[in-house]
Amino acid sequence: MSDQTGNGRPAGQPPRPADAPLSSENAAVIALTRKDFVSDQEVRWCPGCGDYSILAQTQKTMPDFGVPKENIVFISGIGCSGRLPYYMNTYGFHTIHGRAPTLATGLKLANPELMVWVITGDGDALSIGGNHVLHSMRRNVDIKLVMFNNRIYGLTKGQASPTSELGKRTKSTPAGTVDFPIQPLSIALAAEASFVARSVDTHTEHLQETLNRAGSHRGSAFVEVLQNCNIFNDGAFREFTEREVRDDRMLVLEHGRPMVFGAERDKGIRLRGLHPEVVTLGNDVSESDLLVHDEESEDPYLAFMLSRMWWPEFPVPVGVFRRVARPTHDRLVSGQIDDALRQQGEGDLAKLLLAGETWTVD
Amino acid sequence: MTTETPVQRHLPVQELERVTIRFAGDSGDGMQLTGSQFTRTAAVFGNDISTLPDFPAEIRAPAGSLPGVSGFQISFASAEIHTPGDEPDVLVAMNPAALRTNGGELPPGGALIVNSDAFTANNLKKAGYEGNPLTDGSLKAYNVFEVPISTLNARALEDLGMTSKQVDLTKNFFALGLMFWLYERSMEPTLRWIDTKFSARPQIAEGNRRALKAGYAFGETTEMFHTTYRVAPARLSPGTYRNITGNEATALGLVAAARLAGRQLVYGSYPITPASDILHHLATYKNFGVKTFQAEDEIAAIGSAIGASYGGAMGMTASSGPGIALKSEALNLAVMVELPLVVVDVQRAGPSTGMPTKTEQADLLMVMFGRNSDSPVAVVAPATPAECFDYAIEAWRLALKYMTPVVYLSDAFLATGSEPWKVPSLADMPSLAVDNATDRATFQPYARHPQTLARPWAVPGTPGLEHRIGGLEKADMTGNVSYDADNHHRMQLLRAEKIDRIAADIPPLDVFGPERGELIVLGWGSTYGAIRTAVERLQQEGWSVAHGHLRHLNPLPRNTGDVLRSYRRVLVPEVNLGQLSLLLRARYLIDVVGFNRVRGKPFRISEIRSAAEAVLAGRPVDDVSLRSDSQDTFSASGQGLA
């Protein structure tokens, strides 16, 4: 017989307690370093691509989880992002366009103990694979989906994507795209993702921290990484991500803290009616007037409002927008199986075959 | 006490070897239930049985309309039978629409039992009758029994306080009771079923009991019927039997395969007629560790199955033609990454949405070739509802042993049709267990087993075997991405060779009848019963005719070409326009004769027989074509689709 038990856990591995976070207490025991996660394959993205940084931050944060690398799987779709699994010295599966979340869902059903990352892009996740993102998130499949958003199709050499700005001229839209863009995080929130965050390829510390928090979450995590494609859409986010301007044009979300931003920490976000507004702290406005970020709020309204804020009307928020606890898909499925086993006992196949009315011929 | 004693039977009893009954009525009339109750009763009595449900895709078409007619045909016999019968001996028509759509198939002299209450002006008009067939003499070829079923039934239930609608819903059981009386069947199994089904609704239970008994008593007391009929139990081979549909057998076979392999079954699927019942069955087997996943679409269904197999489980999916078309890209991924996977295709009439509840065998070439590039997969096809169990296990045997996707072709006829199934003993079934790769010293993702060419199954969670796979071409052995020209050529050959080698691991094509001779009729899938019966009859008349039936369609059994060359002619009946014929001609350069009818219905025995007789006589097969000289054939076959 094989080494799989009936409930799909590789033999010899104790189950992780249901609510234990996939995090750091084992890190010291397992003692892996970034190098352990670097595969022997030559990295083949264009020089200067933002993907290098995302790969590096991913490799750097992996040892923090204390998960043996054989229990980590990277699953990708098609596009430049799809190559990432080849460069991770873990289990990896480069699948087909848009479908990575479906394979990840099946894999988690087969073995809930695995830590599964889905690597995708704006075309892969929001265009051809939009349906699977929607459903994997609403099911709270325990996957960490990292979407590289460069607002362009890179691997096919520069066509408009679902996040390309209206009117953008590309090879496929020489007169400008007529398709209104969507905000990935609004989609993730509407799809009931239990963890929603954004970071930027060049903000390496923030990106590493964001990936770390996503990896520590149990349930469906959606991370948008603003990623520069220096060949087909160079500078897509430059206006607010460049070192000189980013403090004034981006809002770093911190749980429980008022929404303050600016190089001088002198600006903030206040609610006026149902709308956010940018205010300057000083004479008649103090921090106590500002919105306080609450990533754990059961209501998605605040997070959704933040997902709509974009430069130049607003600073672009980064950080964790939403993080709520909900039972994961694999646990609910396993729970039903456990219930059935408790109520009916281990299935007796001979009895099952004879179920219903039978007759005997002598 | 005298009133309690059943009336002594004074009617002559006629012994019959086989009877075919068709129940037809409105889709709200409960014809499927009526048919399946008769089936259970006949099966438990020990008859051999074969059934053919025939229902519309519309859940509730307008009452009394032609599209709303639902039928259920059951053939039961004292000898072994292989089909639900070409044409009914008895047609029970609950309304004019049912008579109009089914009457054409009742042969002259056949018994027609009608609910005369339903032959109202309104219903006649809905069915497109200008006059009333009960009075205009148009039914004089039949033995007509007009029974005011609605009235009699309402009278039997009148003091129960049920609404007239509730009462009307029980009239199918009046008809069932009458048929039980006519064929000397016990009401007990159905009475037990009523008790269980309506245990929480005693009034409804009593209504159904009374309806059933009233129908039975009507048969006894009326002088309408002059004979009752007896069909003795069949002499089936010793064993314990149950009645089973193809979809039930498929589901049970999958659970058995998982047990035999010692792995968990993960079943991802999206609802589609006529495959959904497999999901419904498997969803109730949770205490067997079966995980079912109702995916957001067909692609997600197969994606989840591939992901599950990647994780060391037995990942599988099922659908029908339109869904299989959607799965082809993912199926090709499974070919490239060489993971075990079983894809069930319960074929239905197409193209496109086609006729969802009607049968067809026209997905063969799609599953063989409907993917980009050369993309070989193994293909198996059970021949009968009971065989669906065996071939679910066989599909998994091949998938696990060869690390390959396997397509399992069922169809609407097999899926919903039923027959007695001799329940197998688990001890007789071989283990399907295969080992996961664990040895990090020797592991290479695309190293191959010397015989089967299977690559190792290296499951995430196994220390030291971390590796990457994907849809990009693989370098031989290492599995790294490769654009090397010679490597690609070699990998294409290896993928093809792996499937070809399965031919050494499957039974040879066996023939029923002479090992060489004038004609072999070669079929696959659900045409088995009609072909076998037609061939048996021709053999009894002294013709040199054999029957061969393929259960493995890719690869084909190694002796297939030799077998076909042992006969002067080869006839290939298919419910498609010649798909297996095309494969056989291409592969063996044999001039096979196709016999092709795509009417959404199984072949009749008589059709196969006529085609075989034509070939034996050197005449062209009377095939359906658009030639002007075959207009009669064409319009005749169109009639049944009304």
Q: What mean pLDDT is predicted for residues B528-537?
A: 96
Is the pLDDT reported for residue B631 higher than 70? no
Mind telling me how many Å the CA of A104 is from chain B's nearest CA?
A: 6
User: A230 vs chain B: nearest CA distance in angstroms?
Assistant: 25
- Determine whether the interchain pair A358/B303 forms a contact, defined as Cβ–Cβ distance below 8 Å: no
Q: If 0-12 CB within 10 Å is exposed, 13-18 middle and 19+ buried, where does residue B204 land? A: middle
Query: What is the side-by-side strand order in the sheet with B552-554?
Result: B291-294, B265-269, B314-319, B341-347, B405-411, B378-380, B552-554
B284 φ/ψ sector (left φ>0, alpha ψ -120 to 50, else beta): alpha
* Average pLDDT score, chain A: 92
State the smallest CA–CA distance between residue A110 and chain B in angstroms.
5
Interface test with A, best of B185, B310, B418 (most A CBs within 10 A): B310
Predicted pLDDT of residue B625: 58
Residue type, A141: V
User: Residue B348 CA to chain centroid, in angstroms?
Assistant: 10
pLDDT band at B3 (very low <50, low <70, confident <90, very high): very low
Percent of chain A scoring above 70 in pLDDT: 92
User: pLDDT per residue over B499-508, tens digit each?
Assistant: 999 999 999 9
pLDDT > 90? residue B61: no
Q: Is A213 on the interface with B (CB under 8 A)?
A: no
Is the pLDDT at A7 greater than 50, yes or no? no
Q: Which residues pair with B267 in a beta bridge?
A: B292, B316
Confidence of residue B513 (pLDDT cuts 50, 70, 90): very high
What's the rounded Cα separation, in Å, for the pair A215 and A63? 11
Contact A38, B343 (CB under 8 A): no
CA distances in angstroms from B591 to B511, B553, B569, listed in the order given:
19, 19, 8
Of B213 and A12, more confident: B213
DSSP B119: -
Residues on chain A touching B45 (C-beta within 8 angstroms)? 359
pLDDT single digits (tens) B580-611: 999 999 999 999 999 999 999 999 999 999 99
pLDDT tens-digit readout, A311-354: 999 999 999 999 999 999 999 999 999 999 999 999 999 999 99
Best of A2, A75, A128, A330 to disrupt the B interface (most B CBs within 10 Å) is A2
- Condensed to tens digits (0 to 9), the pLDDT of residues A127-168 reads 999 999 999 999 999 999 999 999 999 999 999 999 999 999
Output the pTM of the full model.
0.91
- The architecture that CATH gives domain A24-257+293-347 is 3-Layer(aba) Sandwich (3.40)
Name the residue ranges covered by the structural domains of chain A.
24-257+293-347, 258-292
Q: Do B289 and A106 touch (CB under 8 A)?
A: no
CA angle B472, A71, A339 (to 5 degrees): 110
Average pLDDT score over residue span B393-403: 98
Q: Quick one: pLDDT at residue B226?
A: 83
| Average of per-residue pLDDT across B625-641 | 42
Q: pLDDT tens-digit profile of B89-102?
A: 999 999 999 999 99
Amino acid letter, residue B350: G
pLDDT in tens, B421-454: 999 998 889 999 999 999 999 999 999 999 999 9
SS3 label, residue B556: coil
Query: If you search the block for the tokens 């061939």, which residue do you land on?
Result: B535
Per DSSP bridges, beta strands B511-512 and B545-550 are antiparallel
* Of residues B286, B306, B433, nearest to A336 (C-beta): B286
Question: Is A99 an interface residue toward B (CB < 8 Å)?
Answer: yes
Q: Provide, as residue numbers in chain A, all residues whose Cβ is less than 8 Å from the Cβ of B252.
A: 352-353
Smallest Cβ–Cβ distance between A103 and the set B46, B285, B307 belongs to B307
pLDDT at B466: 97
Distances in Å between the Cα of A106 and the Cα atoms of A109, A330, B307, B312, B445 are: 5, 9, 5, 11, 21
* pLDDT higher than threshold 60 for residue A18: no
Rounded (to 5) percent helix, strand, coil in chain B? 40, 20, 40
Please say whether the beta carbons of B363 and B345 come within 8 A: yes
Q: Which pLDDT belongs to residue B495?
A: 98
Q: For position A28, what pLDDT does the model report? A: 60
User: How close does chain A come to B442, measured CA to CA in Å?
Assistant: 17
- For residue A10, is pLDDT > 70? no
| Chain B residues within an 8 Å CB radius of A6 | 264, 289
Q: Residue A219 corresponds to which amino acid? A: G
The residue that leads in pLDDT, B571 or B630, is B571
Q: Does A280 touch chain B (CB under 8 A)?
A: no
DSSP lists the bridge partners of residue B74 as B21, B51
Q: What pLDDT, on the 0 to 100 scale, is given for residue B624?
A: 55
Whether A15 shows a pLDDT value over 70: the answer reads no
Q: Indicate if the pLDDT at residue B49 is higher than 90.
A: yes
**What does the block give as tokens for A225?**
């990484």
* pLDDT per position as a tens digit, B160-211: 999 999 999 999 999 999 999 999 999 999 999 999 999 999 999 999 999 9
Query: Does A75 have pLDDT greater than 60?
Result: yes
CB A89 within 8 A of CB A36: yes
Q: Is the pLDDT of residue A17 over 90?
A: no
Residues in chain B closer than 8 A to A131 (CB atoms): 296-297, 300
For residue B46, list chain A residues with Cβ-Cβ distance below 8 A: 359, 361
The C-alpha atoms of residue A197 and residue A121 are separated, in whole angstroms, by: 15
Q: Cβ–Cβ of B471/A90 closer than 8 Å?
A: no
pLDDT over 80 (residue A170)? yes
Q: Are B174 and B213 in contact (CB under 8 A)?
A: no
pLDDT tens digits along B266-283 = 999 999 999 999 999 999
Q: How far apart are CA A32 and CA A196, in angstroms?
A: 27
Site of tokens 């395969």: B257
Chain-chain contact of A347 with B40 (C-beta, under 8 angstroms): no
Q: What domains are defined for chain B?
A: 2-230 (3.40.920.10), 242-428 (3.40.50.970), 445-503 (no CATH), 511-639 (3.40.50.920)
| pLDDT category of residue B633 using cuts at 50, 70 and 90 | very low
Q: What percent of chain A lies above the pLDDT cut of 90? A: 89
Answer whether A359 sits within 8 Å of B241, measured CB to CB: yes
Answer whether the bond into residue B67 is a cis peptide, omega within 30°: no
Is pLDDT above 50 for B637? no
Q: Span B108-132, mean pLDDT?
A: 95
Give B472's contacts in chain A (Cβ within 8 Å). 94
Cross-chain residue pair A91–B466, CB shorter than 8 Å: yes
- Look at residue B356 and tell me whether its pLDDT is greater than 80: yes
Is residue B428 within a helix (H) or strand (E), and if so which, with residue range?
none
Tell me how close the Cα of B261 comes to any Cα of chain A, in angstroms. 7
Residue found under tokens 């009607």: B358
Judged against a pLDDT cut of 70, whether residue A197 lies above it is answered with yes
Helix axes B149-156, B171-182, angle to 10 degrees: 100
Size of chain B, expressed as the number of residues it contains? 642
Instruction: List CB contacts (< 8 A) between B286 and chain A.
Output: 336-337, 339-341
pLDDT band at B2 (very low <50, low <70, confident <90, very high): very low
Nearest to B176 by CA among B209, B224, B143: B209
Using an 8 Å CB-CB cutoff, list chain A residues near B241. Answer: 358-361
Percent of chain B's residues with pLDDT above 70: 95
Rounded Cα gap, residues B286 and B289, in angstroms? 5
Q: What is the mean pLDDT of residues A159-178?
A: 96
Query: Peptide bond preceding A174: is omega within 30 degrees of 0, i.e. cis?
Result: no
Query: Which pLDDT belongs to residue B523?
Result: 98
pLDDT tens digits, A200-232: 999 999 999 999 999 999 999 999 999 999 999
